[in-house]
Structure 1
Amino acid sequence: MKFNDLARKAAKGPGPLSYGGSVHPEDLIRFSLAYGADGADEIERLSKQHGWHEDGLLEDGSRVAPLARWAVACVAYGRGGVASLQHLLTDRTLATFAIAVLEQVRTASCVTALLDYCMSTTALSDEPSDPFWQALSALNTLTSFDDGLVLPQDQQEKLRDLVIETFASATTSHQQTLCLCALRGAPIEGALEWAEAQTVTDPTVRRAKAAALKSLRRRLSGAYKPPSAEQKRQIRRQRALDV
């Protein structure tokens, strides 16, 4: 996206410009990653100029994207990087947006921020939209696939322990499934043995357990070789095509 493209998208659309014009949250994230502090200034300017919505709730009860909150998270990253996003995690009205940006930045420091967040807070709801579950989902996305980030030993231990503790108090099949999926990012001693010992009956959770066991056994085998950078790019390209 060229720098002026965001303003053009914000100035056109089928509805009032306060809805964001043709701008989507993904546009703001990509713009912030591409242009840093200059991009943050532009996002902030457009949000104020067009009066983007804070919570997205309209007077008739319908909803639009809460672009003003997306803007806050993207501005924070553009100006202060991951540290600024980590600060936003303390505000539950902004945590969801900060987590989404961290997931797209895809660096080791993002994993650290998400791990620290999950270990310092608890879910207040069983809904997948709760920031805790969203943060755990982001950790799964960042670390559990073959093209994901490879964590150092201490972070793998934190992730393993987080999964085990969270699974013990999980009350829904979604939560159990998410825990087992995220465990794939911690192929270390104790992870495989713990997963093997879990008794699950829900079909979805059973499939997640089988996938986790397969991944952990493969990564723990002496024959496993992590994919190269080019192979990771190919994996990501194929996943995008499959979506």
Structure 2
Amino acid sequence: MIEVKNLCKSFTRVVKDDSSNKKIKTKKIKTKKEEFLAVDNVSFNAEKGEILGILGPNGAGKTTLLRMLGGILTPTSGSIKIAGADYSIDKNIAKKEIGYLSGNTKLYNRLSPRELLTTFASLYEMPKEDIERSIEEISKIMDMEQFIDNRIENLSTGQTQRTSIARCLIHSPQIYIFDEPTLGLDVISSKSIIDFMKSEKEKGKTVLYSTHYMEEAETLCDKIIMIHQGKIIASGSAKSLKEESETTNLRDLFIKLASERGELVEE
């Protein structure tokens, strides 16, 4: 369902210029621009009916990677195929197969969930009768009947999160891309996200799920990719990765791998 080959994304950043003459006394700090790879030659596949976890600390490159997969950012190099559609050729077709959710997704507060879902369904050019039927079905699935016509600004955190998930569901995508979806949520709200991912997997959907909560991913994901400083440093099932590294949990495994590479781990 998802095929990624040699994916890279470079950005320009401003850094301190240490090449200037240190004998010259000045209060002004000289800077220079440099290119860096936020995602560095990443390749992987995600299959139908599979939850693929993308793990790493803050700043590892997870969000940049998922934004490229979601069609929000354009790769510097490499290729992405979504459900057989090549992003470089059929980007709009590929994006119709994706439901994208991030932990900081913003909704239109003055709309009700019903109005929001109707708006997004229209963007996907769904027929009116299909929109109404789909909203009713999703409302039942996500237990939204009691608040679907209330303004989003008046909803609780859990209700707002269910509305965000419903937005991803409206066009019945084959692939879900979730970027830190449980970040900062309470236990009940986090559970609603996790239960949703499990239920969609059972329907044969593909789920990409990024997090730095490694204990959470260990029990949820079929396969795991560990990413640090833009590079994949390990991939496989949680069980196989722990056995190969002789560690008992994914956190210890990540720290071990990063230490062996001589890289400082910051979380």
Q: TM-score, normalised by structure 1?
A: 0.30
Greater share of helix: 1
Higher relative contact order (CA 8 A, sep 6+): 2
